[in-house]
Amino acid sequence: MVKLKRCILFIIIIALIMPVVFIKKTMALPLTTSSVHVSAESAILMDQDTGRVLYGKDIHKPMRIASITKVMTAILAIESGKLDKTVTVSDNAFGTEGSSLYLKKGEKIKLKDLVYGLLLRSGNDAAVAIAEAVGGSKEGFVYLMNKKAKELGMLDTTFANPHGLDDELHRSTAYDMALLTKYAMKNPTFQKMFKTKYYTAPQEGEKWDRKWKNKNKLLFNYDYSTGGKTGYTKKTGRTLISTASNDDKNYIVVTLNDGDDWNDHMNLFNWGFKQFQQVKIAEKGKLQGVKKKYYDSPLYLHRDIVMPLTAKEKEAISTELILYKPKNGKKFKKRPEVAGQFKVKIKDAVIEQVPVFYKKPPKEKKSFWSFFHFALSHIVEQVSHD
């Protein structure tokens, strides 16, 4: 009974202090996208650092996704910590239909080499071999894929296999796959693999090595490209994830069912680089102008708040500071770790929000559960902040 009460309390607190879960409703699109034409049935341009949607076309429409599925397969393999493990190719992995590394039954190969082959050459046999090595079985790995999807907030995604071959249950959205890519690009090993143009892997029992060239043409033909993953089946059409960086701008594009994907990706990147500027809205450190008697210590942001904005959006930006208020309205019995939320708005749309902290002394420690207990026992006060 105690565990049930704690579970219910935890859910209530998450709903109160983590509105980022409702990201679909709060991430504003640019003021105008009339200059952008995209052939894809579904497309998204996302800022890689903040997750802000800069352009969207049916971004929450569940669709077949083909081999861009392998971004999830790759990041799970990397996070398993088993890249140096030697994998024996099973009967199930051998001869998997579709694009292939032409692995041999019983062949031994490093998991790391399988992941490179997965990303560069889209090997479906590699996907099954990875799934069995990391998840114990293909079914076990699919469970891990869906578990990770839920953790990342991929609300409209269901994975049915590790490679993306057609399955009636296997669906995702442009938005969800951009979220996944945003997460994966935080991993240095994934970043390195994602942008690799050529890779050589030893081949057991042969005098020659396997040599692979990345199928992502943007890596060879677009100066700003930092990686990507292709996908195609007859039922799905062409799918593509790509990333690109220009100075301090890092973007993600995902297109689904797009017969002109290479051009669409370059055009979206170029449009985004031209239309948006990285604007520092608030600096890391002490917040100025907070004068409340029950906040007897300075409040801090733990990071800079930098957002991609158009010129018109920059003029319409406002900020709001929401602080937790002690129940008696006078003083906290025990100082909270998190004092409130700092919100950035364009008109009425929240485009970013970050927690506001007390600057804690080095020796002070606070348990995860005690923070939630504190937050539930206090009411919230809204305070304007310039």
Any idea which residues carry the catalytic annotation? 67, 70, 122
Structural contact between residues 236 and 127, judged by C-beta atoms closer than 8 angstroms: no
Residue 39, number of CB atoms within 10 A of its CB? 16
Q: Are strands 379-384 and 317-325 parallel, antiparallel or unpaired?
A: antiparallel
Task: Classify residue 170 as exposed, middle or buried by CB count within 10 Å of its CB (0-12, 13-18, 19+).
Answer: buried
The C-alpha atoms of residue 125 and residue 281 are separated, in whole angstroms, by 47
Rounded to whole angstroms, the Cα distance separating 333 from 342 reads: 23
57 carries a ligand binding annotation: no
> Burial letters for 302-326: b for 16+ Cβ neighbours within 10 Å, e otherwise?
eeebbbbbbeebeeeeebebbbbbb
How far is CA 31 from each of CA 35, 324, 332, rounded to the nearest angstrom? 12, 33, 43
Q: Are 172 and 165 in contact (CB under 8 A)?
A: no
Q: Which helix (H) or strand (E) holds 341?
A: strand 338-346
Alpha helices in the chain (DSSP H): 2-17, 23-26, 70-79, 111-121, 124-135, 138-151, 174-184, 188-194, 218-221, 261-275, 311-316, 368-376
Annotated binding site: 229
Binding residues for substrate: 229
